[in-house]
Amino acid sequence: MAKKKYKAILTDDFVSRLNKLPKEDQVKIYGAIEKLCEDPFGVGTRIIPKDLELGLMCSKCDSRNTLTYLDVGCEPYEVHFHCKNCDEYCWMYEEEYKEFIKEHPERTFQQTDQ
């Protein structure tokens, strides 16, 4: 079975801005686009989630119906947050998460309490 090929459609504005960049940067960007067209699902690193004891309340709707986990598949580690109520999403580095929970303990909860 032939491998499916994908096509990137670049706007005139994008091409115009790209042409203003140094040649070396243009080559890198076109190379990244080419890789995306070959395999758009193979880009990036795999998420390796690790449960965290403290979850974060949603800053948008104050819900505790959230998912907060540590991604140990990247360096430095990242903490990902997703609200199941309003679909708010964000991520931060692990050190930023540790600072946040120290400064805002009222915005945290035991994830096992859910």
Residues in CB range of 97: below 8 A, 6 or more apart:
52, 70, 79
- Residue ranges, CATH 2.20.25, the chain: 49-113
Strand order in the sheet with 89-93: 49-51, 66-71, 78-83, 89-93
User: Tokens standing for 9?
Assistant: 């459609």
Task: Evaluate if pTM is beyond 0.75.
Answer: no
Is the CATH number of domain 49-113 2.60.120? no
- Residue 32: name the closest of 22, 44, 23, 20 by CA: 44
Decide if 54 contacts 63 (C-beta within 8 A).
no
Q: What is the pLDDT of residues 87-108, one digit of tens each?
A: 999 999 999 999 999 999 999 9
pLDDT of residue 46: 75
Residues 7-27 have pLDDT tens digits of 888 899 999 999 999 999 999
- Tally of CB atoms within 10 A around 80: 17
